[in-house]
């Protein structure tokens, strides 16, 4: 699908890089600061083409990337930044075909990231306690991804427990974006398969401390680690190279843990560094020389 179609959401980008979202509809007119363009003039144009508004104002017409869409989509709950959305499927090791449990759905940004990672053979079950958030999330997901038969959205309070899918098999991965994920740790211990991965995102230090302590008390989680990400862009103009004055700094803490057999490993012991220290075969050979 290389040309814009009616019903599709696109972004118009001005020369300063500012993006404006609109959903194309035959016969409609888009207006921006006194400049106008008919939707019919955009429908049928290729992605990445120039659009000329009235007054000879030129803008770039693009399909939004996933990150663009997340930042511009309607929201009920606060959405995660793209820098965190990109890392969560990696550190949770969400793979094609994985069975993933998520809570809460929020505005649907993380749900979409998980759906993209599991692919059509995978499964995402997501809990959201608030009906208004769930309704907004489903609209956002369907608008960007269409119908998703491998998504099971349920309006439930995850603090009351996690039900397994109809086949009764546990989840491979469990991802939480909640104010109090430590309340869910006992349920996570029951719902995750052995070797499965727990991941939660919280914005503050007290929250992450309570989360890690709950994982340690559960006695079935090991390889516990917590980190944050900072994103800084750079300005490169010829020989003038410097970091930009603004950056996306702290947004939250990501905590990851593996479910393991109780009693055979120091489950409460953190790994000490993100990803841990991997002793490769080549390094072991070097140690013996």
Res 77: pLDDT: 86
| pLDDT at residue 209, rounded to an integer | 98
Q: Kindly state the average pLDDT of the residues 164-185.
A: 97
Q: How confident is the model at residue 261 (pLDDT cuts 50, 70, 90)?
A: confident
Q: Are 198 and 188 in contact (CB under 8 A)?
A: yes
Is 272 within 8 Å of 221 (Cβ atoms)?
Answer: no
Given a cut of 80, is residue 40 above it in pLDDT? yes
Percent of the chain with pLDDT over 70: 90
CA–CA gap between residue 230 and residue 51 (Å, rounded): 35
Task: Kindly list the structural domains of the chain, giving each domain's residue range(s) and its CATH number in brackets, ordered by start.
Answer: 9-64 (3.10.330.20), 68-259 (3.40.50.150)
- pLDDT reading at 53 higher than 60: yes
State yes or no: pLDDT of 26 exceeds 50: yes
For 80-99, the pLDDT digits (tens) are 999 999 999 999 999 999 99
Residue 280 has pLDDT above 90, yes or no: no
């Amino acid at each position: 699908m290389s040309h814009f179609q009616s019903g599709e959401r696109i972004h118009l980008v001005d020369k300063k890089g500012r993006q404006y979202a609109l959903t194309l509809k035959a016969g409609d007119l888009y207006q921006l600061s006194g400049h106008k363009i008919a939707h019919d003039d955009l429908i049928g144009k290729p992605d990445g083409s120039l659009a000329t508004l009235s007054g000879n104002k030129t803008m770039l017409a693009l399909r939004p990337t996933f990150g663009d869409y997340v930042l511009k989509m309607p929201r009920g709950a606060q959405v995660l930044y793209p820098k965190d959305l990109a890392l969560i499927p990696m550190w949770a090791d969400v793979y094609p075909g994985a069975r993933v449990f998520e809570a809460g759905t929020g505005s649907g940004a993380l749900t979409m990231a998980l759906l993209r990672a599991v692919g059509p053979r995978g499964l995402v079950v997501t809990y959201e306690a608030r009906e208004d958030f769930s309704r907004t999330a489903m609209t956002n997901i369907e608008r960007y991804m269409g119908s998703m038969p491998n998504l099971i959205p349920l309006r439930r309070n995850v603090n009351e427990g996690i039900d397994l899918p109809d086949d009764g098999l546990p989840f491979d991965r469990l991802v939480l974006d909640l104010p109090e994920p430590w309340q869910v740790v006992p349920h996570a211990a029951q719902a995750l398969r052995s070797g499965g991965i727990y991941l939660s995102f919280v914005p503050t230090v007290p929250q992450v401390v309570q989360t890690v302590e709950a994982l340690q008390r559960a006695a079935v989680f090991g390889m516990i680690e917590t980190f944050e990400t900072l994103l800084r862009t750079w300005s490169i103009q010829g020989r003038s190279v410097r970091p930009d004055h603004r950056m996306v700094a702290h947004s939250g803490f990501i905590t990851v843990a593996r479910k393991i057999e109780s009693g055979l490993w120091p489950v409460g012991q953190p790994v000490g560094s993100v990803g841990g220290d991997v002793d490769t075969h080549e390094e072991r050979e070097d140690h013996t020389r």
